Structure 1
Amino acid sequence: MKPVPFTIDSFKFVLDQVVEDLKGVFAGTNDILAILGAYYAARRVYGAVSTVAEAVYVHLLGRATNVDWVKNYGPWAVVTGSSEGIGRAYANELALRGLNIVLISRNERRLARAKSEIEMDCKVNVQYIVADFAAENQGDLYKTIETALADKEVGLLVNNVGVMYDYPDVLLNITQQKLWQLIYVNIGAATMMTHMLLPGMVERGKGGVVVVSSGSSTQMTPQMTVYSATKRYLDYFIHSLAYEYRDSGVTFQCLIPFYTATRMTGYSERLSKGGWIVPDASRYANSAIETFGRSQCTTGYFPHTLQLWIGQAVPNWLWMWGSEKLNNSLRKEALARLAKRATKYGSQEVLSDANKS
């Protein structure tokens, strides 16, 4: 009898066996994918819960503790850009906690008034230094400040001074003079003041450095391009310093407030009115100071933290689209207000000066 040839039935048997083997492979793959999916979901849930828990700890529990600021940090605090706005309010909060204050800003009249008010309310020693951080001779500027601070044990440095555009706008509408101001003030001041005062803190094994950044630095923000970029620098700067000097006993913090009703936002009537989302400087500073030592990087104000979460949740293209729409609206409002003022005073000088700034 002749042998039976390898037929279709034999091929079907082999094919069925291959299919069964593949089913086993895919079943194992499905199990792996299910495990990875569960791990990813667990990580997302854990991250969300941790974020909320941290926000509660930073913004709420801080108020339940008492801190001896003079003992923990030192008798003197230096606050830049402190003649008004957040800097002035933060200086007042430090004075309420018993620290002597050195105010640094360029407007002597406002500095003198701030000194008088803080001394009257808080019964501490307040001094001021008149300094323009946008000065052309940067070397002389910092030598003058260093000489004035030489006899003081500075335990806290609050790098608050900053400048913004006169209103949101695109890069080529910003003058070179304004661009240099942004670099000298927003980047240079924090860098050089920290370099000046950090050695004493490290030597004593205690102290604190705060930089005031901006919510616009959390993502790329059109029509605030250079401003937000300089504020992003502060975020990188303070985080790297915190790592470099992690064993020094010095506390570092980056504050990233969103819109706050100060003179910097005076180009907009909507922003100047303030409110829960846009706090005034006093409300912001009262909240922000309670987060010091609890978070290395925070908005400092819980409603701003909610805004930060939203900003982090949306894709970058959507953030930029929304930022451009908002800043277009704010620029139109600012220009309309300037035109109204120019008409009121019978001159175009106000408007032309704004366009040059």
Structure 2
Amino acid sequence: MALDQLVFALLGAYVLLFCGVRLAHLLMMLSPRVWYPLPENFLTSMGKWAVITGGSDGIGKAYAQELARCGLNVVIISRSKEKLDRAAREIELNTKAKVIAIAADFTEDDIYRGIKENIEGLDIGILVNNVGILPTQIPCRLLETANLEKKMNQVINCNIKAMVKMCHIILPGMVERGRGIILNVSSGIAKVPCPTYALYAATKAFVERFSQGLLAEYKSSGILIQTVCPFGVSTAMTGHQKPDMITFTAEGFVRNSLMYLKAGEQTYGSVRHAILGWVVQAIPTWVLRSEAFHRHFQEYVKTRVNS
């Protein structure tokens, strides 16, 4: 066989293998209870408490509600005491869980001593690092961001530092007990270059890489660490977009994502978002970097937020 024929044959085999792996993964995601079964008491076997950052609203609140329904007590941490108290009452009313609400602004630096003191001695089995902010709701170029210096510090503190610090506080107890789950919420847009959301996407890419490294370090200690990478979820941060085929309610997304706890180090949390992730990653980088794409993406977000 000529060299060029061999190259094309190997390339064809690689493409077939790649497509076959993707198809198998999709089929497995369609039946998570078959391929990724969880014992009935799996979550409660990790510990008595779950800690959720950004737990007063959106995805964080949905995680707190769902984990409480599964039998865990929950600690919810967020900036607004009013929202926290309202969420705590709702969770306690609808479940048998105990709720500890801690008001803390993750955009600030000096909040972690108080958090650590409030959760000292708890048997924490699950940590959900969910808190995060956008520099601007409508995407724009970096230098067009209002109060850029302030926003840079806030976004880095909230999206990166908060996750690392919460792991630093809670991971030692998990290692000592030899069990635990850490879910770090990233974003589907972290998979590709994302002009006009450059700062936000970069912080979410950090979440994924940090989680992969941490899993390699502590998997042997019995710790499950997973990155969750949603696309559209209807929350305050996304302008409460109307749910549709690719936009979940926070509650619907969380219920789906928890079914994939044993699906590997990273999950999109749903079949629909997994397919969207594969499509997005197949788009040539030059398209994502083009001015036309920037304009269309901005208009799309404006339309979704205002609809």
TM-score normalised per structure 2: 0.91
SS of 2:233's partner is coil
Residues of 2 paired with 1:326 and 1:156: CA distance?
A: 39
Tell me how far 1:55 sits from its aligned partner. Answer: 3.1
Instruction: Mark the structure with the bigger radius of gyration.
Output: 1
After TM superposition, the structure 1 = structure 2 runs for residues 203-222 of structure 1, keeping only pairs within 5 Å, are 203-222=176-195
Tell me how far 1:70 sits from its aligned partner. Answer: 4.3
Tell me how far 1:296 sits from its aligned partner. Answer: 1.1
2:210 alignment counterpart: 237
Q: What number of residue pairs does the alignment pair up? A: 300
1:263 alignment counterpart: 236
Work out whether residues 106 and 132 of structure 1, in 8 Å CA contact, stay in contact via their aligned partners in 2.
yes
Instruction: Choose from 103, 108, 112 the match for 1:142.
Output: 112
Tell me how far 1:66 sits from its aligned partner. Answer: 3.5
Task: Encode CA deviations 1:154-176: one digit per residue, 9 max, x unaligned.
Answer: 11100000000232111112222
Work out whether residues 167 and 334 of structure 1, in 8 Å CA contact, stay in contact via their aligned partners in 2.
no
Amino acid paired to 1:105: S
Work out whether residues 221 and 323 of structure 1, in 8 Å CA contact, stay in contact via their aligned partners in 2.
no
Residues of 2 paired with 1:72 and 1:46: CA distance?
A: 38
Task: Encode CA deviations 1:103-158: one digit per residue, 9 max, x unaligned.
Answer: 000111111111111122221111111110012xx2x3100000001020111100
Root mean square deviation of aligned Cα: 2.0
Residues of 1 paired with 2:302 and 2:92: CA distance?
A: 41
Instruction: Choose from 238, 262, 273 the match for 1:293.
Output: 262
Stretch of structure 1 that moved more, 184-193 or 273-282: 273-282
Stretch of structure 1 that moved more, 144-153 or 174-183: 174-183
1:46 alignment counterpart: 17
After TM superposition, the structure 1 = structure 2 runs for residues 175-186 of structure 1, keeping only pairs within 5 Å, are 175=147, 176-186=149-159
Tell me how far 1:203 sits from its aligned partner. Answer: 1.2
Stretch of structure 1 that moved more, 116-125 or 155-164: 116-125
Residues of 1 paired with 2:229 and 2:179: CA distance?
A: 24
Stretch of structure 1 that moved more, 110-119 or 317-326: 317-326
Residues of 1 paired with 2:31 and 2:88: CA distance?
A: 30
Tell me how far 1:211 sits from its aligned partner. Answer: 0.7
SS of 1:273's partner is coil
Task: Encode CA deviations 1:21-69: one digit per residue, 9 max, x unaligned.
Answer: xxxxxxx5x1x44334323222222222222222332452237644413
| Residue 49 to residue 178, structure 1, CA distance change in 2 (3 Å) | same
| Structure 1 ranges of 4+ moved more than 4 A | 330-335
Residues of 1 paired with 2:258 and 2:264: CA distance?
A: 11
Any unmatched runs of 5+ in structure 2? Answer: none
Work out whether residues 58 and 250 of structure 2, in 8 Å CA contact, stay in contact via their aligned partners in 1.
yes
2:124 alignment counterpart: 154
1:35 alignment counterpart: 6
Work out whether residues 125 and 179 of structure 2, in 8 Å CA contact, stay in contact via their aligned partners in 1.
yes
Q: Which has the higher helix share?
A: 1
| Residue 102 to residue 220, structure 1, CA distance change in 2 (3 Å) | same
Instruction: Choose from 236, 255, 279 the match for 1:310.
Output: 279
Identity, % of aligned positions: 34
Instruction: Choose from 244, 249, 268 the match for 1:280.
Output: 249
